[in-house]
Copies of this chain bind each other. A is one copy, B any other.
Amino acid sequence: MSGENRQKFYRPFDSLEEFVDAISERFQCPVTIEDANHHLLAYSSHDEGTDAARISTIIGRRVPERVIHRFWKEGVIPTLNQSDEPLVIPEIGDIGLGNRVAISIRSNQEVLGYIWVSEVGCTLNEQDLADLKLIASKAKNQLLQLNLQKKKKEKNHQELLWQIITGDIESHQMIADQLSNIGLHGNKPLGIIIVTFESMNQELYKKVVYTAKTIQKVTILIETLDENQLILLISPSSPKKEVSDVTDFIDTFKAQVKERFGIANLQSGCGYIYENYNYIKRSYDEAAKVIAFKRAFPEELPHVRFYHELGVFRYIDLLKKTEEIRDYPVSPVIQKLQSYDEDNRTNLLETLEVILNKDGNMNEAAKALHCHVNTLTYRLKRIQEITSIQLKDPVQKFGLYLDIKLFKCE
């Protein structure tokens, strides 16, 4: 960098915008500055030849998820995080990304953000890269201020989240106001997601929060940590497809955590997404229950993500706790099947349970039991003869389902 050019970056800048424009002018290229979560902080007004990825980033005020994911797969982001050197990134056509150079902005070991320079019509030489490194170190000062604010804000955020999920603030309006106070406006439907890790530390926490925030199916308003549990206050991105948004979020989150950190057995749960913020506490309770239930009934609830997907198991749990159920006699239906099974080395009770699990779908049940469909229909006929139950009658069927589940839980 010539003395004159270099001089420019020693002076103070009023805003990040001014700063980014100075960089852009220096390299004669479009420049973008992001925070550590790839949220857009500032972008140069030099807009000639801006590629598709940059446009998306600016429009969405953050780097598109597919781009981030690709950068992870290509090793770009890990490299940037590990060093303070500029990295030259060749064109990746299929996601609309031209050649560019990137560098991390860091304070000590911590990454505060990134500078991206699009090589439009020019290529940065050795000198340029050295200058970029210098500029990044200067950028640190700019970001530190923001970051400090942000850290303070985050503290406020987390306090607020705890107040909400512990029921400390109850009314919808108060919660909305408080959220608004810390810059979270919008009045969108909110819900809680909990993810339980086997172990957790500060470093991992940062990484997984980063991972979560780069998935854009849901907006993470506030995140916090409770022992090994990551707690997220979220709002789905698309108003009408809340469930599929959250589903997608959880799935990609788990996949990425596994891919990036090799952590596989996460337990996650999500409460309902409520428009009325009174219910955020309930959403938290529900999310916690999802995790508890998946622990209690691991085989029967393998794919459950949402509270409402727990279905009948909510009641099974309640019933198990009632005193009356304990000295309740075992249903004669089960007794009869059990003694029949013993006498004849059959397994009609298991057969019945599978049929009920599959809700009477004989083909599926047959598959699960590895036998012919007609075998099943025969067995079912026997079961009905022996026990004189009428599985066609839903009242009896549902009752029997509970009988068996509770019997197995004893």
Instruction: Tell yes or no: A180 within 8 A of B by CB.
Output: no
Task: Encode A372-399 as 1/0 by CB contact (under 8 A) with B.
Answer: 0000000000000001111001111111
B395 and A309 contact, CB distance less than 8 A:
yes
Contacting residue for A309 out of B274, B396, B402, CB 8 A: B396
Q: A389 to chain B: which residues have CB within 8 Å?
A: 308
Contacting residue for A308 out of B301, B314, B332, B359, CB 8 A: B332
Closest residue to A310 on the B side, CB-wise? B399
Instruction: Tell yes or no: A243 within 8 A of B by CB.
Output: yes
Q: A321 to chain B: which residues have CB within 8 Å?
A: 322, 324
**Minimum distance in angstroms from A391 CB to a CB of chain B:** 10
Contacting residue for A242 out of B315, B333, B388, B399, CB 8 A: B388
A325 and B329 contact, CB distance less than 8 A:
no
**Minimum distance in angstroms from A218 CB to a CB of chain B:** 15
Instruction: Tell yes or no: A259 within 8 A of B by CB.
Output: no
**Minimum distance in angstroms from A289 CB to a CB of chain B:** 12
Q: A312 to chain B: which residues have CB within 8 Å?
A: 395-396, 398-399, 401-402
Contacting residue for A319 out of B282, B308, B315, CB 8 A: B315
B399 and A301 contact, CB distance less than 8 A:
no
Question: Could you tell me the distance between the alpha carbons of A314 and B400 in the complex, rounded to whole angstroms?
Answer: 10
Which residues of A in the span 3-21 have a Cβ within 8 Å of any Cβ on B?
A: none
Instruction: Tell yes or no: A342 within 8 A of B by CB.
Output: no
**Minimum distance in angstroms from A325 CB to a CB of chain B:** 7
Instruction: Tell yes or no: A331 within 8 A of B by CB.
Output: yes
Q: A388 to chain B: which residues have CB within 8 Å?
A: 242-243, 306, 308
State the copy count for this chain: 2
Which residues of A in the span 246-299 have a Cβ within 8 Å of any Cβ on B?
A: 272, 274, 279, 282
Contacting residue for A397 out of B319, B333, B359, B396, CB 8 A: B359
Q: A394 to chain B: which residues have CB within 8 Å?
A: 311, 356-359, 401
B397 and A313 contact, CB distance less than 8 A:
no
Instruction: Tell yes or no: A300 within 8 A of B by CB.
Output: yes
Question: Could you tell me the distance between the alpha carbons of A194 and B358 in the complex, rounded to whole angstroms?
Answer: 37
**Minimum distance in angstroms from A328 CB to a CB of chain B:** 9
Instruction: Tell yes or no: A148 within 8 A of B by CB.
Output: no
Q: A331 to chain B: which residues have CB within 8 Å?
A: 308
B332 and A397 contact, CB distance less than 8 A:
no
Closest residue to A331 on the B side, CB-wise? B308
Q: A272 to chain B: which residues have CB within 8 Å?
A: 332
Question: Could you tell me the distance between the alpha carbons of A332 and B301 in the complex, rounded to whole angstroms?
Answer: 20
A311 and B356 contact, CB distance less than 8 A:
no
**Minimum distance in angstroms from A339 CB to a CB of chain B:** 10
Closest residue to A297 on the B side, CB-wise? B395
B398 and A311 contact, CB distance less than 8 A:
yes
Given contacts A282-B329, A308-B389, contact A315 B358 (CB under 8 A): no
B398 and A398 contact, CB distance less than 8 A:
yes
Instruction: Tell yes or no: A318 within 8 A of B by CB.
Output: yes
**Minimum distance in angstroms from A247 CB to a CB of chain B:** 9
Pairs across A and B, CB under 8 Å, 30 listed: A242-B388, A243-B388, A274-B332, A279-B329, A282-B329, A301-B395, A306-B388, A308-B331, A308-B333, A308-B388, A308-B396, A309-B393, A311-B394, A311-B396, A311-B397, A312-B398, A312-B401, A313-B395, A314-B399, A315-B315, A315-B399, A318-B325, A321-B322, A322-B322, A356-B394, A359-B360, A359-B394, A359-B397, A398-B401, A398-B402
Extra contacts besides A309-B390, A312-B395, A321-B322 (10): CB < 8 Å: A272-B332, A274-B332, A309-B393, A310-B395, A311-B399, A312-B401, A312-B402, A315-B315, A318-B319, A359-B394
